[in-house]
Structure 1
Amino acid sequence: MSTTAFTTAIAQARDLLRWCSPLRTELWAARLAADLEPDQVDPFLRQLSEDGRTEARLTLAALAAVNPGADAHPAPDAGPTSAAGPVSDAGPSSEAGAQAPVAESVYVRAAGGVVDTLPGWVRRMGRVVCEGGWYGKADPYGEQALAALSFRYENGKEPHLLVVAIDQVNGGLAVDAVVEEVKFLDDLGLRAEEPAAVAGRVLDAFELGDRIMGALVADTLPAVRPVALSRARAVPDLVRPAPDDTISRFRELPDLPGAREAFEKLAEFVGDRPLWWSPARVTQFLTYWLPREAILSEAGVAAMPEVVRAWSRFCGAHPAVLAQVEADAPRLPALMADESLASLGKRIAKNRL
């Protein structure tokens, strides 16, 4: 990091010492870490350690608070961890029924002992209590889902909301995140869910993104990612992997022969991303996936259009989706009867019947 950038960081830390805000400081440290290239981290931490001023020590503590893990990417089964690691006397894991801790990061090692030399409010960084969880669609077709968690610090101050956008079309990876005031939730139209499941989905989404080379995410995500991970890992009794209960909440199955059989195929198709139901997905299901992959009785084929209509109403009754069902459903019997469309797996399965 250049001398100018270091000087800027020190000046910003001086302002934060006046604000006495754990939240502002965590968000600032996350942005600061996101701007560091890998080969800049060690020199920057060394410069902070050698500087020794209160501002430099605050910077070290804040970076450790938002980057506790060895590679700043928590392990899949890692439980809540003190956001300040060994530079704090306790962390959220002490109350969260903890799972295996992650190895210390270079930030934590560099910050060893500095918290005790700083004002008391610094110790609250990362020590939060989760007050609620919400989950639902980010857009009419559910091509993205939103996972939201609300928190306060242990002293009851600075309530805030973490919202993570999870892309459904590309497998369920985290593509953006923000930390906002709790009232931001009022405009999202999300359904309340158990925080442990919502936090599990957040961690699952980040873990998936880490496994996909070149995943397209928002430019703003890296600056929020450390705080998002820290908050999700601070939720007690995490559910991993976190299932989506949308399928189990469906209660509108038509009273028709073959309807249950048809719905089982629909559930198989939507899989673990049931919120995503768009015109394009309707077409993929009715005109491609069913003829290629599904073995259905005549009753199941006959019931499928009504089942898909019911599911489409349950998913929001969007006119474009319903119109697509009406356009594609009449073709289904002929497509299902065309054996040339069947996959090899379907053909083998049919031969075994």
Structure 2
Amino acid sequence: MSTSTFSTALAQARDLLRWRSPLRTELWAARLTAELEPGQVEPFLRELTGDGRAEARLTLAALAAVAPQEQADAVPEPGEPPGGSVFGRAAEEALEALPGWTRRMGRVVCEGAWYGRADPYGEQILAALSFRYENGKEPHVLVVGIDQPHGGLAVDAVVEEVKFLDDLGLAAAEPGVVAGRVLDAFELGDRLLGAEVADTLPGVRALAVTRARSVPGLVRGAGDDTAERFAELAGLPDLPGAREAFGKLREFVGDHPLWWSPDRASRFLTSWLPREAILSDAAIAAMPEVVRAWTRFNGDQPEVSRRIDEDAPRLAALMADESLAGLGKRLARARLDQDPQDG
């Protein structure tokens, strides 16, 4: 642990003691967490616990507020299980010797949640949660950008004033569901080595994860109900084979139904269906109208509709071209040919 890093942190903590802002202090601690290399964490925490100055105590308390479990696991006493470390106790003792405003760090109430597209085609989704400290001060909103083409990982995050939501056009949602999606997105990013994310994401990550974990009624792995709402509210076209066609469209969009771009619609009609889908003639005939209805319900972007108009006339010929069928489709068709009653 370099002396300059420790001295810089304490100098910044000295300024924060004058600002008396829990939010500003937590944001600083989240950035500090991101800047520390894994090998620096333990010596840094040990140096903080051995320093009796108010700046060191504030740093300990702030780190505990934004990453309590991660920091507690970093400095276990000999023979002590993770989570019951000397650091955890030192952070609690630090708060007792600090000004009262520091006790509000991490003690927030979630006041609302929103969810929706960040762009017209839903290639990135925004998950937003609003918070306020227990004393009603410093309302703020956490907004996390979740990438869709690469599986739903968190690619950016910001903490802003609540008015930041005004221009985003997001729909209100259940806080527990949105918070669960935020945690799922960060967890996925942790599993993907080399994933491209915004340079600013690491500095917000610790606070974002801690905020999401604080929301009551967390729902992990929640599906998106856009397809269900389409089937119930918009209604399928009144055509033979429409429900069968929609079943394949639903299979294609999977867990990312809000992502519906011109390229994705084209890939569905010209590549995925011929390669993967076995459909009746009625479903093939109904598919263009089903896709158009889905497009109107799911953003109604003119460029998507134009691409569908270009590609849909070729669908019947593409579905009839056996050379385009993938291995899975060929095996499934062979089984149906052997026992047609199974289909």
Decide which of 182, 193, 207 is 2:187's aligned counterpart: 207
* Structure-2 separation of matches of 1:19 and 1:309: 55
Q: CA deviation at 1:69?
A: 1.9
Quote the residue 1:23 is aligned against: 23
Cα gap change, 1:71 to 1:260, in 2 (>3 Å) = farther
Contact 1:67 1:107 in 2 (8 A): no
2:333 matches 1:350: yes
Residue from 321, 325, 331 that aligns with 2:308: 325
- 1:267-346 to structure 2, matched below 5 A, reads 267-346=250-329
Distance 2:111 2:321 in 1: 54
State the partner residue of 1:87.
none
Structure 1 Cα separation of the partners of residues 26 and 123 of structure 2: 30
Q: Is the 8 A contact 1:63 1:107 kept in 2?
A: no
Q: For the structure 1 residues 18 and 292, does the alpha-carbon distance in structure 2 shift closer, same or farther, using more than 3 Å as the test? A: same
Cα distance between partner residues in 2 of 1:29 and 1:119: 17
Q: CA deviation at 1:50?
A: 2.4
The alpha-carbon deviation at position 119 of structure 1 amounts to 1.5
Alpha carbons of structure 1 residues 175 and 72: separation in structure 2 relative to 1, 3 Å = farther
Query: Quick one: structure 1 residues 72 and 239, their matched pair in 2 at CA, closer, same or farther if it must change by over 3 Å?
Result: farther
| Pick aligned residue for 2:163 from 177, 183, 187 | 183
CA distance in 2, matches of 1:104, 1:33: 20
Root-mean-square deviation over aligned CA pairs: 1.8
* Residues 169/52 of structure 1: CA separation in 2 closer, same or farther (3 Å cut): same
Mapping 1:9-88, distance limit 5 Å: 9-70=9-70
**Structure 1 residues 230 and 105, CA gap change in structure 2 (3 angstroms):** farther
Tell me, in whole angstroms, the C-alpha distance in 2 between the residues paired with 1:180 and 1:122. 20
Equivalent residue for 2:237? 254
Distance (whole Å) between structure 2 residues aligned to residue 246 and residue 180 of structure 1: 28
Task: List per-residue Cα deviations over 1:123-170 (Å, max 9, x = no partner).
Answer: 111111111110000011100000000011111111100000000000
User: Structure 2 length as normaliser, TM-score?
Assistant: 0.91
Separation of aligned partners in 1, 2:247 and 2:19: 56
Q: Is the 8 A contact 1:69 1:105 kept in 2?
A: no
Deviations 1:306-338 (A, max 9, x none): 111111111222121111101111110011111
Deviation at 1:47, TM superposition (A): 2.2
Q: Conserved in 2, the CA contact under 8 Å of 1:164 and 1:202?
A: yes
Offset, 1:51: 2.2
- The answer to whether the 8 A contact 1:131-1:151 is kept is yes
Q: How many residues align?
A: 325
Secondary structure of residue in 2 paired with 1:289: helix
**Paired residue for 2:79?**
none
Q: Kindly report which structure 2 residues correspond to 1:85-164, keeping only aligned pairs within 5 A, or say none.
A: 103=83, 108=88, 111-164=91-144
Asked if structure 2 preserves the Cα contact closer than 8 Å seen for 1:277 and 1:315, the reply is yes
Q: Which whole-Å CA distance do the structure 2 matches of 1:256 and 1:50 have between them?
A: 75
CA distance in 2, matches of 1:304, 1:71: 53
Distance 1:321 1:334, change over 3 A: same
Q: Is the 8 A contact 2:241 2:286 kept in 1?
A: yes
Q: Which segment drifts farther, 4-13 or 242-251?
A: 4-13
- Other-structure match for 2:148: 168
Q: 2:213 aligns with which of 195, 219, 233?
A: 233
Residue type of the alignment partner of 1:229: V
| Distance across 2 between alignment mates of 1:137 and 1:220 | 20
- In proportion to residue count, which structure has more helix? 2
Cα separation, partners in 2 of 1:104 and 1:290, compared to 1, 3 Å = farther
SS in 1 for 2:69: coil
SS in 2 for 1:70: helix
Instruction: Indicate conservation of the 8 Å contact 2:237/2:289, yes or no.
Output: yes
TM-score normalised according to structure 1 size: 0.88
> Which range moved further: 16-25 or 187-196?
16-25
CA distance in 1, matches of 2:70, 2:158: 24
Cα distance, 1:6 vs structure 2: 2.2
Aligned to 1:7: 7
Task: Kindly provide the amino acid, as one letter, of the partner of residue 104 in structure 2.
Answer: R
Q: Distance in 1 between matches of 2:88 and 2:47?
A: 15
Amino acid at match of 2:208: A
Q: Work out the CA distance in 2 between the residues paired with 1:64 and 1:325.
A: 52
For residue 4 of structure 2, what is the amino acid of its counterpart? T
Mapped partners of 2:34, 2:66: distance in 1: 11
Distance in 2 separating the partners of 1:71 and 1:175? 23
